[in-house]
Amino acid sequence: MKRYVLATAAVFFVLLTACGASTTNLQSGANGAVTQKPTVNGCPVQTIPIDPLPKAAVTVTQNQQNKSITVKVNQSFEIDLSANMKWSAVNTASNLIHESAPFGWYNQSQDTCIFRFIASHSGQVTISFNGTSLCTSTMCSQPVFLLTYKVTIQ
- For the chain, how many structural domains are there in total? 1
**CA 133 – CA 41 distance, rounded (Å):** 10
> pLDDT, tens digit, for every residue of 95-113?
899 998 889 999 988 999 9
**CA 119 – CA 71 distance, rounded (Å):** 7
> Quick count: other Cβ atoms within 10 Å of Cβ 58?
16
**What pTM, to 2 d.p., does this model score?**
0.70
How much is the mean pLDDT over the chain?
A: 75
Per-residue model confidence (pLDDT) at position 121: 95
CATH number at residue 140: 2.60.40.2020
| Residue 95 domain boundaries | 2-153
**CA 100 – CA 123 distance, rounded (Å):** 19
Phi, psi of 10, rounded to the nearest 5 degrees: -65, -45
